[in-house]
């Protein structure tokens, strides 16, 4: 039996549209050996976002498929998943990624997403980043949190792997709440990936 310390890291790609704090955190955990993943590729929706600085610092190759957004969702999906197959990637991690991506059958339960609310509340098209936290505050929620789930072909909908909660405080604004939720996200994503990897290893 192979122990965790000698296991070959699982090849992943991280897909981004924003500042890339998750990309940086996952690359840090990979480098320290705390998470047995090999971040082989960063796919981005744009070539001018903060996340790409993190990719550069970690020497992760970057691709920006269809930056002009000219392709249909299906053609975009073909481009993305053929890049992943070519790079030998086994799992795709969406981390602040904001574009609809149809998932081919062969990739069901191999694409993970993190969302900054307790799904199914405050999910779906139009709910991302601060829009989520604004809506949570407006509704008067007393608890919020984050969700890591497998991605299916409906926005923010697939089977849930991990949820973590945090309180919503009376004097919160969207920034303060986003920061509190993000601290939970930093725990939730590695936890969900460990779960996913153990399923992969046993399958």
Catalytic residues: 115
43-82 residues in contact with ligand GAR (CB under 6 A) are: 51
Can residue 114 be called a binding residue for ligand GAR (CB under 6 A)?
yes
Nearer to ligand GAR, 58 or 182 (CB): 182
With binding defined as CB under 6 A, does residue 129 bind ligand GAR? yes
Cα(33)–Cα(31) distance, integer angstroms: 5
- The torsion angles phi and psi of 79, rounded to 5 degrees, stand at -65, -45
CB 117, min distance to ligand GAR, A: 8
Q: Which of 13, 20, 52, 80 binds ligand GAR (CB under 6 A)?
A: 20
CB of 138 to ligand GAR, least distance (A): 17
How far is residue 146's CA from residue 156's CA, in Å, rounded to a whole number?
Answer: 12
Strand runs (DSSP E) across the chain, as ranges?
10-16, 37-44, 62-63, 91-94, 111-115, 143-150, 160-167
Residue of minimal Cβ distance to ligand GAR: 96
* Binding flag, residue 145, ligand GAR (CB under 6 A): no
Q: Is 22 in the site for ligand GAR (CB under 6 A)?
A: yes
Task: Work out which of 26, 55, 116, 149 binds ligand GAR, going by CB under 6 A.
Answer: 116
The C-alpha atoms of residue 93 and residue 109 are separated, in whole angstroms, by: 11
CB 172, CB 137: distance < 8 Å: yes
Give me Rg for the CA atoms of the chain.
17
The CA–CA distances, whole Å, from 150 to 4, 12, 138, 185 equal 24, 14, 28, 15
Among 19, 108, 153, 195, binds ligand GAR (CB under 6 A): 19
Q: Considering beta carbons, is residue 89 or 148 the nearer one to ligand GAR?
A: 148
């Amino acid at each position: 039996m192979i122990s965790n310390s000698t296991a070959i890291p699982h090849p992943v790609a991280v897909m981004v549209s924003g500042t890339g704090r998750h990309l940086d955190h996952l690359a840090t955990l990979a480098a320290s050996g705390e998470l047995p993943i090999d971040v082989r590729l960063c796919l981005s929706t744009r070539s001018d976002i903060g996340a790409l600085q993190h990719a550069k610092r970690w020497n992760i190759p970057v691709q920006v498929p269809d930056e002009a957004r000219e392709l249909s969702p299906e053609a975009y999906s073909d481009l993305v998943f053929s890049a992943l197959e070519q790079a030998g990637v086994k799992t795709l991690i969406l981390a602040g990624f904001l574009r609809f991506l149809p998932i081919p059958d062969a990739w069901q339960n191999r694409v993970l997403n993190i969302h900054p609310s307790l799904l199914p509340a405050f999910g779906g098209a139009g709910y991302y980043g601060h829009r989520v936290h604004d809506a949570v505050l407006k509704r008067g929620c007393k608890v919020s949190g984050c969700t890591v789930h497998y991605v299916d072909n409906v926005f923010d909908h697939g089977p849930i792997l991990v949820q973590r909660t945090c309180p919503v405080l009376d004097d919160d604004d969207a920034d303060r709440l986003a920061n509190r939720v993000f601290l939970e996200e930093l725990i939730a994503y590695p936890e969900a990936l460990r779960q996913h990897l153990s399923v992969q290893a046993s399958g």
